[in-house]
């Protein structure tokens, strides 16, 4: 399974990268929306994990562009803000699911598995 | 039925189209099959969202009981998660059913809007002045100036009492700072992302947020307003000629310095003391005031303050941090005065704690103070004096701000104030009580010129009365210094007492109370009870911050000095023992507030209790006993600190739109979207309907014609048809099954076979023999729960459903009120594999159901599951194991599914339950042994 994780917090990226790789996943990271969109355009990802709140192009805009490029790639949104509006908007934009930080790694892996099986 | 299934059925019934599995399918058949698999996949997602929703609801239910602290971030997070899951459920059901229930979306939006209104952060009106001189504040401005500074203004204005001159950075000023550059937003994001119940995470979070605040620039308009005030009081910078401003206070000395302290809104007025959580900086030079302002604001996110707000259910946004800057009083003596005895407000005395130098030593619990007990009877008189040894005092220092200085030897044992001063302070304290209409806690200082200055006054918190001792034991010699103190050989009720030389066999020790002829053994004796009651737990000595992290839940906190920095542990401690510190300190205040028994002033306690194991601290009788002594502990339940707090109230309000289940009976005409009033109702409705849509769909492959058969196949074992219906997603059957029934022998799904194996491995003994109480409990539940009605017709609502593929199995079984769910994936790649088992409810009363859930959880945990038990709900899961191990565990779950039915009825009765438990353990050891 090949995953792209997008988050402006590099510490979080490194941690997730390590943990997901340990579970047998292939992981790429991007620390901003523009980079993420470029990577999705080039690479074949099974799923994208995307932080909603980023400086520059924010998560929802990134999601919109990813979905325009590759509607079939499932996107799991992550956020540190419990914002109901953002959660529902994200899912209406085509996000597969929405998770709040702190993320339990098992839960994320389960969600990714679900997303990929469903895709 | 929905259009999709209709089309599918119609197509498959065409004679020229081969049924699935017969020969080569044409493109159209293949497309429809793909569509069908898509529907099955959606159904799985719906079940998964259903599981998340129920999990969050169980968690909210538990949180509401107030057994653990939580903040607004929890409330918002839980509501968002619940809404997001239910949104998914609705979306999946409507996709599955070709939009058969569009009104569900309207209902969902209504409920969601209601929840959002409850949890949305309320916006505080800004626009007031950024700073206010103390002289212009008063209690009418408490929302702008914070309670502490508003009170000082009030005292000056209404009572004409001397208070330091100064100013306060208002709530508007604070807001201005926090909103500049999105500081608050970034803080909220970090708070949300951390697990506030883990102390190590709180430490990391606290450090990161404080750094963020310290690094943030103060916006120009605010900085200008603060600097103008500082110059008003201290003169323009680098201009020594101007000298001090002739302020209200006459004690500022030659060079004006500031005491910069928190004055958070609500700090003193809520039913919460916030004692000692925020920073105060003393003797700050004018040029450092701006930076110190940020230090104080940052202390809002100190570990102590964050854990306190969490424990008391106070939202962060309800605490704007106003900051007071007062001209520093060069105190020769200072301290705290209580207009009543904090351990017993009915006691007619004023209690004064006094130290030489700055009053800091009293409030931070560093030293034992002199104590004066003044009788309030007119004329007031000093009833008791307890003069402590005071080897050091805090004084102002131009470099360090304040420092400790050795006392001249002849003053170490001398009273730091005389009786006349004590009476002056007592009169003031009594006057404040009349003025405010409630007992007061006053911080005071005497400047070199002899003027008594008031630094703050706030309502006095009283210790709980329900735990004050009764019976034949001598009353607590708290601050009252009455008869008990006179008989106490230790002689100083507030400044420490005798300590036994070490563990003793039994009986009262010299210098202690004699509570009876032969009491339990005593480890330590003496000291001052600063918070009443008794508690027991593992003694844990805390000397440094690292020790905080290893503190066990329910432990006895043992410390050398009663410093406020240990307060984060009080919500988890069962009792506190300190070598030094008095009843007037912050830690003592917080202990009383939390209802944690505390005994201070026991020299060598840390050394003697270090390896003592479990101890019982009897604060009322000033003893520490080895072991846990139930007779002493009594049965007073721990105070629920969350109850009635703003956070708890917000959760309760949101929960009214989430938790109650009104849709109980699927057969009732009221089981409809129009009657959904909560997220739980929607969840229940969607689950029921999704099963109906999927399993009740017409079977396109049936030879009997349209509508005659349903897609779900009934399971037949040894010729008997059972109440289990199966749906094959992909390769779950060995061969095409054209009729309405499928034989067990035709099942290919490995996890389903393993599950069935476990379910039938041992014949069920039937419901356990119950006593009359168990039976009554079930009867009672039955009257409120129609699903348990034994005469109910066998309808769709009584069936169990299995969705299977070659490697996958999902069982939705009806055991009671909720569906019980088992889901398993057992494929060749271990990374894909998992087992989850989830149930809730039962027939017996709530406590017995909870016992059963805990028991099943323990059995599964022993096998490597993570089992989360919330009341009577169990959520267990495990993943990443090889196929064979997964199948073994699925077998075990199948066994448990059958054999733990109805054991909730006897779970409280050890005589009946013991043998059942043993039998289950023995069976499980054979069916699914614990991995070696």
pLDDT band at B125 (very low <50, low <70, confident <90, very high): low
Q: Among B82-96, B354-368, B891-905, name the most confident range.
A: B82-96
Asked whether the beta carbons of B256 and B233 are under 8 A apart, the reply is: yes
Cβ-Cβ contacts under 8 Å for B519 (sequence gap 6 or more):
B506, B507, B508, B623
Query: Percent of chain B at pLDDT above 90?
Result: 34
Taking 50 as the threshold, does the pLDDT of residue B20 lie above it?
Answer: no
Question: What residues does B615 pair with on adjacent strands?
Answer: B537, B626
- Stretch B748-754: mean pLDDT: 96
Taking 60 as the threshold, does the pLDDT of residue B5 lie above it?
Answer: no
- The Cα B893–Cα B859 span in angstroms is 10
- Stretch B443-454: mean pLDDT: 92
pLDDT band at A68 (very low <50, low <70, confident <90, very high): very high
pLDDT band at B259 (very low <50, low <70, confident <90, very high): very high
CATH classification for the domain delimited by B131-459, as one of 3.30.470.20, 3.40.800.20, 3.50.80.10, 3.40.50.2020: 3.30.470.20
* Residue A119 forms contact with B (CB below 8 Å): no
How do residues B681-700 score in pLDDT, each as one tens digit? 999 999 989 988 888 766 55
* Structural domains of chain A ordered from first start: 2-108 (3.40.50.2300)
Residue B33 to chain A, least CA–CA distance (Å) = 15
More confident residue, B98 or B399: B98
Q: Output the six-digit token pair for B559.
A: 């410390």
Taking 70 as the threshold, does the pLDDT of residue A90 lie above it?
Answer: yes
- Stretch A46-73: mean pLDDT: 91
Asked whether the beta carbons of B282 and B358 are under 8 A apart, the reply is: yes
What is the model's pLDDT at position B12?
Answer: 42
What is the model's pLDDT at position B422?
Answer: 95
User: Could you say which of A23, A53, A109 has the minimum Cβ distance to residue B189?
Assistant: A53
Asked whether the beta carbons of A27 and A3 are under 8 A apart, the reply is: yes
Chain B CB contacts of A106 below 8 Å:
866, 877, 879
Residue A79 to chain B, least CA–CA distance (Å) = 8
- The Cα B150–Cα B147 span in angstroms is 5
How do residues B221-238 score in pLDDT, each as one tens digit? 999 999 999 999 988 765
Number of residues that make up chain A: 119
pLDDT band at B24 (very low <50, low <70, confident <90, very high): low
* Residue A114 forms contact with B (CB below 8 Å): yes
What is the model's pLDDT at position B638?
Answer: 55
Find the closest chain A residue to B49 by CA distance.
Answer: A97
pLDDT band at B758 (very low <50, low <70, confident <90, very high): very high
pTM score, two decimals?
Answer: 0.68
Query: Percent of chain B at pLDDT above 70?
Result: 80
Domain spanning B483-628: CATH 3.50.30.10: yes
What is the model's pLDDT at position B507?
Answer: 30
Taking 50 as the threshold, does the pLDDT of residue B882 lie above it?
Answer: yes
How do residues B620-672 score in pLDDT, each as one tens digit? 889 999 999 888 886 555 556 677 788 888 999 999 999 998 887 778 889 99
What is the model's pLDDT at position B271?
Answer: 52
DSSP at B68? S
What is the model's pLDDT at position B703?
Answer: 52
pLDDT band at B484 (very low <50, low <70, confident <90, very high): very low
Taking 50 as the threshold, does the pLDDT of residue B190 lie above it?
Answer: yes
What is the model's pLDDT at position B532?
Answer: 85
- Stretch B850-870: mean pLDDT: 90
What is the model's pLDDT at position B591?
Answer: 86
DSSP at B141? G
Question: What residues does B403 pair with on adjacent strands?
Answer: B395
- Stretch B518-545: mean pLDDT: 87
- The residue among B59, B185, B188, B192 with the most chain A CBs within 10 A of its CB, best to mutate, is B192
Q: Which of B331, B288, B307 is nearest to B194 (CA)?
A: B307
Residue A43 to chain B, least CA–CA distance (Å) = 23
- The residue among A2, A27, A84, A119 with the most chain B CBs within 10 A of its CB, best to mutate, is A84
Taking 70 as the threshold, does the pLDDT of residue B483 lie above it?
Answer: no
Taking 80 as the threshold, does the pLDDT of residue A82 lie above it?
Answer: no
Judged by CB atoms closer than 8 Å, whether chains meet at B84 and A81 is answered as no
- Stretch B10-36: mean pLDDT: 56
What is the model's pLDDT at position B774?
Answer: 46
Taking 90 as the threshold, does the pLDDT of residue B849 lie above it?
Answer: no
Chain B CB contacts of A100 below 8 Å:
77, 80-81, 192
Find the closest chain A residue to B866 by CA distance.
Answer: A106
More confident residue, B75 or B871: B75
Q: What is the CB neighbour count within 10 angstroms for residue A57?
A: 16
Find the closest chain B residue to A22 by CA distance.
Answer: B831
Residue A82 to chain B, least CA–CA distance (Å) = 5
More confident residue, B4 or B823: B823
- Stretch B853-879: mean pLDDT: 90
| CB pairs A-B closer than 8 Å | 70
Cβ-Cβ contacts under 8 Å for B179 (sequence gap 6 or more):
none
pLDDT band at B122 (very low <50, low <70, confident <90, very high): low
Please provide the average confidence, as pLDDT, over all residues in chain B. 79
- The Cα B562–Cα B583 span in angstroms is 10
What is the model's pLDDT at position B811?
Answer: 92
Domain residue ranges of chain B, discontinuous segments joined by +: 3-120+656-691, 131-459, 483-628, 750-927
- The Cα B490–Cα B510 span in angstroms is 9
Mutual angle of helices B72-96 and B183-193, in 10-degree steps: 70
Asked whether the beta carbons of B280 and B305 are under 8 A apart, the reply is: no
How do residues B260-314 score in pLDDT, each as one tens digit? 998 887 665 445 555 567 888 888 999 999 999 999 999 999 888 888 888 777 8
B145, containing H or E segment? helix B142-154
pLDDT band at B518 (very low <50, low <70, confident <90, very high): low
Q: What is the CB neighbour count within 10 angstroms for residue B7?
A: 14
Chain A CB contacts of B87 below 8 Å:
87-88, 91
What is the model's pLDDT at position B123?
Answer: 59
What is the model's pLDDT at position B856?
Answer: 92
Q: Output the six-digit token pair for B584.
A: 């007037």
Chain B residues whose C-beta sits inside 8 Å of any chain A C-beta: 41-42, 44-45, 48, 73, 76-77, 79-81, 83-84, 87-88, 91, 112, 115-116, 119, 188-190, 192-195, 831-832, 834, 866, 877, 879-880
Chain A CB contacts of B188 below 8 Å:
81
SS (H, E, C) B16-35: CCCCCCCCCCCHHHHHHHHH
Chain A CB contacts of B116 below 8 Å:
84-85
**Complex confidence, ipTM:** 0.82
pLDDT band at A116 (very low <50, low <70, confident <90, very high): confident
Taking 50 as the threshold, does the pLDDT of residue B893 lie above it?
Answer: yes
Taking 80 as the threshold, does the pLDDT of residue B30 lie above it?
Answer: no
- The Cα B884–Cα B826 span in angstroms is 8
Q: Using a CB cutoff of 8 Å and minimum separation of 24, what contacts does B499-504 make?
A: B499/B524, B499/B525, B499/B526, B499/B527, B499/B602, B499/B603, B499/B604, B499/B605, B499/B608, B500/B524, B500/B525, B502/B608, B503/B608, B503/B626
- The residue among A59, A77, A82, A111 with the most chain B CBs within 10 A of its CB, best to mutate, is A82
Taking 60 as the threshold, does the pLDDT of residue B770 lie above it?
Answer: no
More confident residue, B879 or B223: B223
Judged by CB atoms closer than 8 Å, whether chains meet at A118 and B81 is answered as no
How do residues B131-176 score in pLDDT, each as one tens digit? 999 999 988 888 888 888 988 998 888 888 899 999 999 999 999 9
């Amino acid at each position: 399974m090949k995953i792209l994780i997008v988050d402006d917090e590099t510490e979080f990226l490194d941690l997730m990268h390590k943990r997901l790789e340990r579970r047998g996943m292939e992981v790429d990271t991007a620390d901003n929306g523009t980079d993420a969109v470029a990577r999705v355009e080039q690479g074949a990802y099974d799923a994208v994990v995307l932080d909603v709140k980023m400086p520059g192009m924010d998560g929802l805009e990134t999601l919109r562009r990813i979905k325009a490029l590759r509607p079939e790639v499932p996107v799991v949104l992550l956020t540190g803000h419990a914002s109901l509006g953002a959660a529902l908007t994200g899912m209406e934009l085509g996000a597969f699911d929405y998770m709040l930080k702190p993320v339990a790694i098992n839960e994320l892996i389960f969600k990714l598995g679900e997303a990929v099986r469903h895709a | 039925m929905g259009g999709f299934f209709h089309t599918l059925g119609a197509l498959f019934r065409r004679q020229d189209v081969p049924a699935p599995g017969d020969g080569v399918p044409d493109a159209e058949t293949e497309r429809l099959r793909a569509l069908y698999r898509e529907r099955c996949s959606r159904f799985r997602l719906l079940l998964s969202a259903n599981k998340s929703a129920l999990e969050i609801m169980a968690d909210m239910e538990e949180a509401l009981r107030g057994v653990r602290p939580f903040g607004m971030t929890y409330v918002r997070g839980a509501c968002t998660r619940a809404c997001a899951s239910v949104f998914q459920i609705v979306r999946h059901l409507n996709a599955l059913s070709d939009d058969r229930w569009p009104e569900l979306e309207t209902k969902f939006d209504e409920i969601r809007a209601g929840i959002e209104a409850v949890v949305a952060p309320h916006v505080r009106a800004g626009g007031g002045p950024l700073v206010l001189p103390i002289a212009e504040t008063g209690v009418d401005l408490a929302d702008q100036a914070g309670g502490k500074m508003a009170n000082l203004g009030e005292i000056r204005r209404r009572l004409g009492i001397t208070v330091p001159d100064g100013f306060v950075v208002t709530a508007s000023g604070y807001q201005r700072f926090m909103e500049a550059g999105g500081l608050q937003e970034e803080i909220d994001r970090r708070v949300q992302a951390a697990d506030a119940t883990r102390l190590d995470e709180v430490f990391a979070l606290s450090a990161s947020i404080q750094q963020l605040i310290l690094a943030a620039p103060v916006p120009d308009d605010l900085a200008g307003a603060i600097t103008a005030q500082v110059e008003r009081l201290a003169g323009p910078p680098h201009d020594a000629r101007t000298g001090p401003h002739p302020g209200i206070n006459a004690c500022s000395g030659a060079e004006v310095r500031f005491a910069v302290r928190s004055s958070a809104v609500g700090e003193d007025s809520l039913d919460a003391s916030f004692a000692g959580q925020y920073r105060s900086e003393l003797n700050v030079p004018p040029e450092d005031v701006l930076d110190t302002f940020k230090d104080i604001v940052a202390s809002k996110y100190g570990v102590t303050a964050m854990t306190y707000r969490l424990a008391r259910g106070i939202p962060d946004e309800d605490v704007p941090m106003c900051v007071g800057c007062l001209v520093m009083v060069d105190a020769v003596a200072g301290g705290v005065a209580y207009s009543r005895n904090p351990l017993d407000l009915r006691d007619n005395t004023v209690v004064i704690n006094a130290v030489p130098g700055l009053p800091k030593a009293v409030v931070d619990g560093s030293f034992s103070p002199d104590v004066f007990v003044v009788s309030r009877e007119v004329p007031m008189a000093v009833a008791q004096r307890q003069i402590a040894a005071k080897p050091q005092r805090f004084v102002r220092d131009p470099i360090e701000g304040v420092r400790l200085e050795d006392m001249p030897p002849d003053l170490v044992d001398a009273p730091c104030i005389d009786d006349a001063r004590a009476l002056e302070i007592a009169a003031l304290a009594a006057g404040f009580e009349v003025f405010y209409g409630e007992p007061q806690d006053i911080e005071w200082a005497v400047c070199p010129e002899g003027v008594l200055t008031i630094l703050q006054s706030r309502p006095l918190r009283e210790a709980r009365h329900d735990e004050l001792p009764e019976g034949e034991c001598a009353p607590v010699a708290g601050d009252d210094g009455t008869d008990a103190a006179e008989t106490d050989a230790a002689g100083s009720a507030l400044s420490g007492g005798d300590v036994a030389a070490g563990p003793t066999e039994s009986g009262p020790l010299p210098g202690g109370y004699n509570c009876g002829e032969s009491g339990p053994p005593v480890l330590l004796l003496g000291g001052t009870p600063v918070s009443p009651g008794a508690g027991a737990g593992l003694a844990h000595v805390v000397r440094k911050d690292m020790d905080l992290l290893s503190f066990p839940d329910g432990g006895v906190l043992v410390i050398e000095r009663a410093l406020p920095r240990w307060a984060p542990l009080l919500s988890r401690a069962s009792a506190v023992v300190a070598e030094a510190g008095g009843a007037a300190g912050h830690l003592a205040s917080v202990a009383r507030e939390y209802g944690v028994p505390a005994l201070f002033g026991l020299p060598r306690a840390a050394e003697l209790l270090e390896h003592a194991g479990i101890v019982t601290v009897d604060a009322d009788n000033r003893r520490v006993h080895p072991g846990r002594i139930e007779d002493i502990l009594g049965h007073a339940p721990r105070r629920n600190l969350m109850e009635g707090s703003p956070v708890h109230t917000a959760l309760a309000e949101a929960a009214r739109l989430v938790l109650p289940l009104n849709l109980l009976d699927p057969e009732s005409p009221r089981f409809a979207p129009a009657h959904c009033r909560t997220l739980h109702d929607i969840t229940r409705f969607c689950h029921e309907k999704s099963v109906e849509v999927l399993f009740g769909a017409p079977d396109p492959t049936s030879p009997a014609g349209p509508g005659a058969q349903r897609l779900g196949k009934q399971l037949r074992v040894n010729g008997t048809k059972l109440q289990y219906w199966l749906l094959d997603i992909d390769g779950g059957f060995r061969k095409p099954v054209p009729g309405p029934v499928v034989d067990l022998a035709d099942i290919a799904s490995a996890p389903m076979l393993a599950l069935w194996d476990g379910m039938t491995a041992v014949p069920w003994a039937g419901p356990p023999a119950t006593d009359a109480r168990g039976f009554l409990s079930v009867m009672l539940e039955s009257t409120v729960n129609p699903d348990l009605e034994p005469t109910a017709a066998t309808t769709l609502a009584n069936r169990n459903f299995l969705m299977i593929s070659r490697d996958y199995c999902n069982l939705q079984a009806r055991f009671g009120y909720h569906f019980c769910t088992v889901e398993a994936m057992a494929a060749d790649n271990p990374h894909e594999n998992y087992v989850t088992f989830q149930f809730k409810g039962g027939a017996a009363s709530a406590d017995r159901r909870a016992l059963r859930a805990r028991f099943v959880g323990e059995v599964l945990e022993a096998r490597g599951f993570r089992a989360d038990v919330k009341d009577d709900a169990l959520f267990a899961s495990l993943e990443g194991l090889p196929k064979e191990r997964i199948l073994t565990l699925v077998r075990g779950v199948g066994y448990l599914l059958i054999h733990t039915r109805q054991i909730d009825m006897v779970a409280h009765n050890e005589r009946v339950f013991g043998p059942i438990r043993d039998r289950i353990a023995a069976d499980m050891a054979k069916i699914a042994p614990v991995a070696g």
